[in-house]
Amino acid sequence: MTVLKIISNCFFTCFIVLKKTFEMGNYCKDSPVIPRLVAERSRSMTRDLMKKEGFISGLRVKPAMTVTFQFINSINIVFFLYFCKKINEIMKRTVKFFKWFLRVFLLVLVIAVAGIYFSGHGYIFNAVLKTYMKGYKTAHIDDYTYFDNAVIHTGSPQPWQLHEKYNKFQLTGSFRKALEDFQTIGFAMFKDGKILYEEYWNDYSSSSMTNSFSMAKTVTTMLLGKAIEQGYIKGLDQKITDFLPEFLKDSLGRLATVGDLSAMRSGFDWTEDYYSPFNVTTEAYYGNHIEKQLLKRRFVSQPGGHFKYLSANTQLLSIILKRATGKSVADYLSKEFWQPLGMENDALWSLSGGIEKSFCCIHSNVRDYAKLGQLLLQKGNWNGVQLLDTAFVEKMTTPCYDAFKPDEAKKYGYSIWIDETYKPSFYCFLGHLGQRIIVIPNENIVIVRLGKFIDKSYKSKGHLDADAYLMVDEAMERR
């Protein structure tokens, strides 16, 4: 039994020396230090065990055990060198495999990248860099720093007056919870042309600049109304091919009007998606050739038909505005509305290939956004000056009834969302992640909410997003 213990020591010795060898970085390579380590370790452990069993007297091995002692040491070295050889072979095969795997992986990666790029999806890299690499799943309200931007210049600021009840009340607990659930960064109510209430969260303020997202669509149609008023465009019924000859060979495109674009009735070939990377909307947002992207597409259904919300419609409208007026939409907005409204701050409009992304991406603040709603509430009049034709405002804020089936909610006018059945009735600019400018005409109220998220678990009271009704109800409580 003792002899078996001594022999088993050889295996333990092998593993101990292997560990030391790896720690020294030898990895079982040929080296004179390995046999020496084996021999020293083997002699030491074997001697200790033999001494314990009485085979060694003092420092001398009993004569009968001398051969055994030498034999065990020899076995230790033989076993170790055998194990070392096998491990060395395994290590070489492992290194070879990983080199092969790395080459294959890099080759596949290069092919994939080239395929994505040459298939016209190079924008995906930009999208990943500006969303997923920043910890987001979609575009976010502070992303203007990632894009080129045109400046929307203001003139002489006209600050809002404060209502006599300004911030003299608290929001209801349930509504405050909703705002916080929605990760709101700014909320304000305006009554009779004055600020009734405002509050900001997470270090944002009344001058913080954030993304409007699709609220910009309503602003673009306001510019369309101004262009019609000034004679650059004949009217909502003018054919788009007068400005976009690229669609003259498109049998359906020849039938589309500028009004069809504004009312989301164009029949254009487009898929609206804000989360999928392989999507035309994502390409429009993160790409750098938006005009080329749109003008190479076609119409796929009869224009003037059923309502279908498409960001491409507004983008085509902005190309028309630029060609009709000879001005960029940012400059046109600055001259016709931003300066006359006395906006308190300059704003930005994000660009794609030097063209404003008019389907989204005006970057401004709560107070200045509110003036856009206030202008519509006042039927286009500001301080006695008619900035936008009253008839056009009424056209915008009235549902396009024939764009919907009889059993459908009549929820959209010309680039503006409407609920005329709710009490009170209201219309609103709506944007991705819950950007809101809500106008309640009968109460002379404008509401603005900006934030990072919209919680869709809340049940809606109507055919628009649930949070819009929460805000309207809160305003009615505090009017």
3-class secondary structure per residue, 304-317: CCCCCCCHHHHHHH
Q: Which tokens go with 321?
A: 């505005």
At residue 325, the 3 state secondary structure works out as helix
DSSP string across 57-75: ETTEE-HHHHHHHHHHHHH
Q: What is the mean pLDDT of each run of 10 residues along the chain (479 residues)?
A: 54 54 49 56 60 54 53 60 69 81 76 62 72 81 95 97 97 95 96 98 97 98 98 98 98 98 98 85 92 96 97 98 98 98 98 95 98 98 98 98 96 98 97 97 98 87 95 92
pLDDT at 272: 93
pLDDT value of residue 28: 47
Res 26: pLDDT: 47
- What lies within 8 Å, CB to CB, of 119 at 6+ separation is none
Sorted by where each begins, the domain ranges of the chain are: 2-116, 128-478
**Residue 27: predicted pLDDT:** 45
CA dihedral 254, 283, 452, 431 (to 10 degrees): 0
In this prediction, residue 286 carries a pLDDT of: 92
Q: What is the pLDDT of residue 292?
A: 95
pLDDT of residue 390: 98
Task: Look at residues 34, 73, 29 and name the one whose alpha carbon lies nearest to residue 50.
Answer: 73
Burial class, 407, CB count within 10 angstroms (exposed 0-12 / middle 13-18 / buried 19+): exposed
Whether 123 contacts 286, CB under 8 Å: yes
Tell me the C-alpha distance between 169 and 408, whole Å. Answer: 39
Q: What is the biggest distance separating any 2 CA atoms in the chain, rounded to whole angstroms?
A: 122
Tell me, which fold does domain 128-478 have in CATH?
Answer: Beta-lactamase (3.40.710)
Q: Please state the length of the chain.
A: 479
